[in-house]
Chains A and B, each alone.
Chain A
Amino acid sequence: MNDVQNSGGSAEPVVESGRFGRIFAIRLKPNEDLVEGVEAAAAELGVDHAVVRSAVGSLVDAALGYGQGDSRAVTMIEGPGVEILTLAGELRPGRDGAPRANLRGTVSDSDAKVYGGLFLRGANPICITLELVLQEWIPE
């Protein structure tokens, strides 16, 4: 679904020590993809490890993944005006070194129904705006 290397998956616990670094106020404008836009913004700011501290915004439509392997599936929520209610996740370098985002959260549709899952790459266009605070994570 999203990058496997972002999600652990090892048989052993993975414990990473570190500290928080720089913090950024970010806006994504309409029609930017949520996942790719957050990654591009981080790359432009020179950040490859980061944590979402807070985010408020809306999507044209939403595509939220769930399940795994053969059971993976997608909940499609039609907008416009899908509200992003919560956004959590992190960015870590992908195989090419560029930041890759793994973002999960909840949204509501125009009937006030709530959905949750993994925000899929290339399928969650920003409607009006995304206001995002990202904080750099510095592994030690």
Chain B
Amino acid sequence: MRTLKHPGEPEGPRRIGREAAGAGEFRIVLPEGADLLSDATRILVERGIENAAIQLTGGSFSSMQYLTGQPDDSGERVATYGAPTSLEGPVQVVGGNAILGRDSEGAPLLHCHAVVVDSDGQLHGGHLPGKVCIAGPEGLVLRVTVLSGGGFRVAYDAETNYSIFQPSEA
């Protein structure tokens, strides 16, 4: 198994786990024209939900973008995102996982990766950016598991030189 040397020193522990309380389940269908990240975030925040595990289980996009990883030749990090790839619909959802937490300022942040199939039957997938992944005529179906008393909050990670989700108290 190949391992990589990161720009910062490894910090322990190598696994962090924080217990939260399960605080209910929701099924959400975003309507045609909704933006996946911003509208799903808004709907959850309006219900007082700050932390959640989300599965994208159905629906389609009328248009979307995704980013995939690649080596970072600058040496500042071991990997980075490449340029976004744009797809025009109908783009069907195959699956997706997302986590709702908070950024370093405490604002809600939804981190989503997904797999889709385009109108030629070609699979695509990657990290979904905000404001450009738009629900198609079928909408987008999300299954939401709500966490309370714990979840994820962005903090600077010196080892990887990224600001990323860390398990946190509520």
Q: How far is the CA of A25 from the CA of B94 in the complex (A)?
A: 25
The contact string, 1 if C-beta is below 8 Å from chain A, for chain B 64-93, is: 001011110000011111100100000000
Q: How far is the CA of A37 from the CA of B65 in the complex (A)?
A: 31
Q: Report A-chain residues with C-beta under 8 Å of the C-beta of B165.
A: 27, 129, 131
How big is chain A's contact interface, by range?
Answer: 35 or more
Question: Would you call B97 and A55 a contact (CB within 8 A)?
Answer: yes
Q: How far is the CB of A81 from chain B (nearest CB, A)?
A: 3
Question: Would you call B125 and A25 a contact (CB within 8 A)?
Answer: no
Tell whether B29 is near chain A: CB-to-CB under 8 Å.
Answer: no
The contact string, 1 if C-beta is below 8 Å from chain A, for chain B 37-65, is: 00000000000000101110000000000
Q: How far is the CB of B32 from chain A (nearest CB, A)?
A: 24
Q: Report A-chain residues with C-beta under 8 Å of the C-beta of B71.
A: 79-81, 110
Question: Would you call A127 and B126 a contact (CB within 8 A)?
Answer: no
A-B pairs, 9 with minimum CB distance: A81-B69, A133-B53, A54-B53, A81-B79, A53-B53, A110-B70, A31-B3, A114-B123, A25-B167
Q: Report B-chain residues with C-beta under 8 Å of the C-beta of A106.
A: 94-95, 115, 125
Q: How far is the CA of A85 from the CA of B3 in the complex (A)?
A: 21
Question: Would you call B1 and A125 a contact (CB within 8 A)?
Answer: yes
CB < 8 Å neighbour of A60 from B3, B10, B20, B82: B3
Q: How far is the CA of A81 from the CA of B124 in the complex (A)?
A: 16
Binding site for B on A (CB under 8 A): 20-33, 37, 40-41, 44-45, 53-56, 58, 60-61, 79-87, 106, 108-112, 114, 122-125, 127-129, 131, 133, 135
Tell whether B132 is near chain A: CB-to-CB under 8 Å.
Answer: no
Q: How far is the CB of B40 from chain A (nearest CB, A)?
A: 13
How big is chain B's contact interface, by range?
Answer: 35 or more
**30 residue pairs from A and B, CB less than 8 Å apart:** A23-B20, A23-B53, A24-B17, A24-B19, A27-B16, A30-B3, A30-B78, A30-B159, A41-B17, A44-B17, A54-B54, A56-B112, A58-B79, A61-B2, A81-B69, A85-B113, A85-B114, A85-B115, A85-B126, A86-B94, A106-B95, A106-B115, A114-B125, A125-B4, A127-B69, A129-B160, A129-B162, A129-B164, A129-B165, A133-B145
Q: How far is the CA of A53 from the CA of B146 in the complex (A)?
A: 10
